[in-house]
Amino acid sequence: MYLDREDRKRIAGRLLTIGIPGPQLDQATRELLTHINPFGIILFARNIVDAHQLRDFIAELKAFRAGDPFVISVDQEGGLVQRLKPLGNDWPNARDMARQGIEAVRKFGHRMGQELRSYGFDLDYAPVLDIHTEPTNPIIGNRAFAENAQDVTTFACAFAEGLRAAGIRTCGKHYPGHGDTTVDSHLALPEVQHSIETLRKREWLPFKAAAASGIMDAIMTAHMMVPKLDPKLPATLSPVILRALRDELGFSGIIVSDDIDMKALADHWSLDEIALLGLKAGLDHYLACIDPVRALGLHRALHHVMEQRTVPAEQLIASEMRTITNWQAINFS
């Protein structure tokens, strides 16, 4: 199968969700969105002034992209990670939610989903499926629902059910399991020395259960090394590790990267390598959250991979269609 220039441009955009600089659709942002034509936008605190502005801003973004599959997403977990906190609601962290029981967790998910939907969001990068097994973990901690696989599975799936009941799509994270690390992947490259047997008995159980439940529309990868599975590449770029998510854990939804601007990836692999290795590994979608220049660079790199035909066209189209199938109903229902 041959992809012509228009095919390549379309697919490169649909493989991307990007961050944008500020709280308005200014000329520079319009040009960025027109050039990349991304499948989605992720919003942060820098994009939010107040409730009225946010609602109008999301409506304007959707109007600008009317007619195309397009998703507005956010990282809203509660506790440490909640981008909408300045607007009023201060949501508890996952650990504190879980202490109130499964029905409370489901209600928290539903209420959070209702809040997100009221502003026009479509997708939340939640819930966390990591298990808090390392007390000194600087980035997961109480973002995890529990310290054991069974409770994490129970509460995370309940939270996801609540989000979806409110009309918000879900993304479980961070595969293959970030809970036992001692390094923040925003700042450096974490590593765990787990064998595949350990992962099967513990870290992978919530991901496997989430895949079986059908409640997760996407699963996010972690930028971390698991050298006993792949001594050269982090999970995000590893065909061995991503293939296990498909073949062993049975996940058929969207595999999306964590932010490619995080130092765990950005300090070690170029944009060309991230584009090529990620696609070859089986990534469906990339997040480029911080730097518009890097988002443009990744878009060019993805286009170049397609020009060079180093990844089968059928695989690229499958990733595009998997993304649209899982997420387009939000906007086209």
The set of catalytic residues is 186, 258
CB 240 within 8 A of CB 230: yes
298/260 Cα distance (integer angstroms):
9
- Cα–Cα separations (whole angstroms), residue 97 to 72, 149, 191, 192: 25, 16, 29, 28
Cα–Cα–Cα angle for 308, 313, 318, nearest 5°? 140
- Cα–Cα separations (whole angstroms), residue 214 to 24, 218, 251, 276: 36, 10, 9, 29
CB 76 within 8 A of CB 130: no
Give the three-class secondary structure for 11: helix
254-259 and 76-78 as β-strands: parallel, antiparallel, unpaired? unpaired
169-175 and 123-124 as β-strands: parallel, antiparallel, unpaired? parallel
**Of 172, 66, 49, nearest in space to 119 by CA:** 49
Q: Which two tokens stand for residue 200?
A: 């099967």
CB 264 within 8 A of CB 190: yes
CB 69 within 8 A of CB 14: yes
179/181 Cα distance (integer angstroms):
6
Residue 73 β-bridge partners = 42, 123
DSSP of 69-87, one letter per residue? --EEEE-EEETTEETTGGG
